[in-house]
Amino acid sequence: MSTDLTDEQREKHREAGEILAQVREEAADRVEVGAGHLEVAEYAEDRIRELGGEPAFPVNISVDEEAAHATPGPDDESTFGEEMINLDIGVHVDGWLADTAVTVDLSGNPELAEAPAEALEAAIEIIEPGVETGEIGAEIESVIDGYGYNPVVNLSGHGLGHWEQHTDPNIPNRAVEQGIELEAGDVVAIEPFATDGGGKVTEGADEEIYALEREASVRNRDARQALEQIVEEFKTLPFARRWLDTRRAEMALRRLQRQDVVHGYPVLKEDDGCLVSQKEHTVIVTEGGCEVTTRTR
């Protein structure tokens, strides 16, 4: 599991994190009642490119009971109301990744937004070589419980690989007995989620994010054109339907899904329809602890 990062690779992780920290703050500042989801997502994705990175996945804009995998469609006219908004944003530099998230609370539930942020800080404090992932989960669960909320137990933090947004190890949001020991050189995203509901999410019907499953021969011209763009630009990283240049992108994606060439990420929603909050940083495990790459400098 351990990643022996070269100095150059570590620097690219850092560069991705610095870009991401800046874009996270700028994007969060644009989340206000009446602003458009698509406008905020495209602002953040364009800004990432301006600063020298590439989006590692489409900007996730999750509202109220949504927890993950929600991003605007190409003609989305949704605007923010008095809601709980989670922004989850990723950057890569030559395939080396950083991942971060923040809750912007417009719903009047500041403590629910604070709970995962404080849980994240408690988790980061104990990260060093030899710490078990279950211990990190116990810290997260303890803080969120202390606020009177539940962690979302079937979502977790994760490792970040080269061109891989989700790798081992999983970092649970609750105490587990069988954990994996972190090692120096591991790059992990710590990602507490809190809810005033029961603490589980399930898949909804909406789907706007996809990723390549395998390369294959495709007969339909639009689907073939879409696949060429996916392989060349996004490789194995998630992408949005609105990123595709091909005509009839929705139909092309359906064809690619039917052939198991791409898979979709349905929006995940809290089972009880309750609010979900989130905070996330990327860290590199070091000999003496960890380095948070996505903090604002």
Active site members: 88, 99, 158, 166, 191, 280
Phi-psi region of 201 (alpha: psi -120 to 50; beta: other; left: phi over 0): beta
The order of strands in the sheet holding 276-278 is 150-151, 193-195, 276-278
Q: How far apart are CA 72 and CA 204, in angstroms?
A: 15
Question: At which residue do the structure tokens 């606020």 appear?
Answer: 147
The identity of residue 84, as a single letter, is M
166 is in an annotated binding site: yes
92 is in an annotated binding site: no
The identity of residue 245, as a single letter, is D
191 is in an annotated binding site: yes
CB neighbour list of residue 286: distance below 8 Å, 6 or more residues apart? 128, 184
88 is in an annotated binding site: yes
Q: How far apart are CA 150 and CA 142, in angstroms?
A: 10
Please check whether residue 173 is in contact with residue 156, taking contact to mean a CB–CB distance below 8 angstroms.
yes
280 is in an annotated binding site: yes
Quick one: which H or E segment has residue 87?
strand 84-93
99 is in an annotated binding site: yes
Binding residue ranges: 69, 88, 99, 158, 166, 191, 280
